[in-house]
Structure 1
Amino acid sequence: MGDDLGDEWWAHEGKSDPSEAEEDDETQEKQPTEKPNAQTKPEKRKRVTEKQVQAKKKKTSEQKECVTPQKETDEEKSTKPKKKRKKKKTITDVLSSSEPKPGCPADLQNLVTQYFSDKRSVIEQEELKLLDSCFLSSNDLTHTLSSYLKQVCPKWAKIQKQHTEKSSVVLLIVCSSALRAIELIKQMTTFKGAAKAIKLFAKHIKIEEQVKLLQKGVTHIGVGTPARINALIEKEGLSLRALRYLVLDWNWRDQKLRRMADIPEIKLDFMKLLETGILHGCKEDKVKIGLF
Structure 2
Amino acid sequence: MGTATTAAANKKRRKQPEQLRLKKSIRKTKTKEKKKKSSNNKIKNNEKKNENAVTARESNVVQWATASQQLSFFIDQYQSANRVQLSSLELDSLKETCVVELCQGPAKNITGNLDECAKIAFGSSWKEVLCGKHLQEGQVDAGNPTLLVISSSALRSLELLRELRSLTKECPAAKLFSKHMKIEEQVSILKNRVNIASGTPSRIKKLIDMEALGLSRLAVIVLDMHKDVKGYSLLTLPQVREEFWDLYRSYFHQSLLKGDLRLCLYGPIPTNSEVKKRKPNDA
TM range (shorter): 0.5 to 0.7
Give the gaps of 5 or more residues in structure 1. 1-99
Do the aligned partners of 1:138 and 1:291 also contact (CA within 8 Å) in 2? no
**Aligned mates of 2:148, 2:204 — CA distance in 1:** 10
Could you tell me which residue of structure 2 aligns to residue 143 of structure 1? 112
Aligned residue in 2 for 1:222: 197
Conservation of the 8 A alpha-carbon contact between 2:102 and 2:120: no
TM-score under structure 1 length normalisation? 0.58
TM score, norm. by length of structure 2: 0.60
Equivalent residue, structure 2, for 1:288: 262
Q: CA deviation at 1:192?
A: 3.7
Alpha-carbon distance in 2 for matches of 1:126, 1:288: 18
Q: Select the residue among 127, 147, 156 that pairs with 1:180.
A: 156
Deviations 1:40-78 (A, max 9, x none): xxxxxxxxxxxxxxxxxxxxxxxxxxxxxxxxxxxxxxx
Alignment match of 1:131 (pick from 72, 92, 95): 95
- Cα pair 1:197 1:219 within 8 Å, conserved: yes
Deviates more, 1:260-269 or 1:131-140: 131-140
Offset, 1:158: 2.3
Alignment of 1:197-216 (within 5 A): 197-215=173-191
Shift of 1:214: 0.7
Cα distance in 2 for partners of 1:174, 1:145 equals: 12
Amino acid in the other structure paired with 2:249: E
Aligned partner of residue 263 in structure 2, secondary structure? strand
Q: 1:156 aligns with which of 97, 104, 126?
A: 126
Counterpart in 1 of 2:81?
115
**AA paired with 1:218?**
R
% same residue: 28
Segments ≥4 residues shifted beyond 6 Å = none
Q: Say if 1:256 and 1:101 are closer, same or farther in 2 by CA, change over 3 A.
A: farther
Select which of 54, 61, 71 maps to 1:105. Answer: 71
What secondary structure, in the 3-state scheme, does the structure 2 residue paired with 1:260 have?
coil
Correspondence for 1:72: none
Quote the Cα distance in structure 2 between the aligned partners of 1:236 and 1:113. 29
Cα distance in 1 between the residues matched to 2:72 and 2:239: 22
Alpha-carbon shift at residue 126 of structure 1 (Å)? 5.2
1:194 Cα deviation from its structure 2 partner: 2.4
CA contact (8 A) 2:70 2:99 kept: no
Kindly indicate whether the alpha-carbon contact (under 8 Å) linking 1:149 and 1:191 is maintained by their aligned counterparts in 2. no
Q: Which structure 2 residue ranges, 5 or more long, are not aligned?
A: 1-62, 104-108, 267-283
For the pair shown, the structure with the greater C-alpha radius of gyration is 1
CA RMSD between the two structures: 2.5
Structure with a larger share of its residues in helix: 1
